[in-house]
Amino acid sequence: MAPEVAAARPAPARRTAGVVAPRHLAVRWLGRVGYDEAWALQRGLHAHSSRNHLLLLEHPHVVTMGPRAPAAHLLMDPTAAGAELCRTDRGGDVTYHGPGQLVGYPILTLGGPRAGGLGAAAAYVESLEDLLIDVLADLGLPGAGRLERHRGVWLDPAGMRPRKIAAIGVRVRRGRTLHGFALNVD
């Protein structure tokens, strides 16, 4: 008699944020790249290429601030710690980037009639969170998830001391994405 096999559960439905499933995704590992250089590359690809791209890299020590980030959220002078300070046009608050982080900048075309709207941007951010949660589970960290009213991905989000493992800050311009995520690896 054959042993019983548990029925496979279907994977939960995922939002796609209207991201066009790319036939081709140009993925590039850039190594360690300064923030301004990576930002210039993103802008160039966004403006002059209709292809979908994923830039993977690591930044030297830098602190970035979104346009709505209050100065009070900058708890110290980054230059005193050897980090650069860069203002940026992405969503989000103050974020540290540095060695030991995998930074991903997807430059993708969002689909749908309101591809550049706030709803599409919010759904896109949620799809990035889903992706990172799945990657962390595949890497043996199944407890990663969302923390209510806080963007990004957290370890032990329901516990007493949740720890942020991935930051997300994006901008959608003309239906295409800029900026992305930073996953703490080391």
| DSSP secondary structure, 48-92, as one string | H--SEEEEEEEPSSEEEE-TT--GGG--S-GGGGT-EEEE-SSSS
Domain 25-65+80-180: give its CATH architecture: 2-Layer Sandwich (3.30)
pLDDT score, position 110: 87
Positions in the chain short of pLDDT 70: 1-23, 112-118
Mean pLDDT of the chain: 86
pLDDT of residue 121: 85
Q: Which long-range contacts (CB under 8 A, 24 or more apart) does 15-19 make?
A: 15/123, 15/126, 15/127, 15/130, 16/127, 17/110, 17/120, 17/123, 17/124, 17/126, 17/127, 18/110, 18/111, 18/112, 18/115, 18/120, 18/123, 18/124, 19/108, 19/109, 19/110, 19/111, 19/124, 19/127
Q: What is the pLDDT of residue 104?
A: 98
Please write the tens of the pLDDT for every residue from 61-78. Answer: 999 998 888 889 989 999
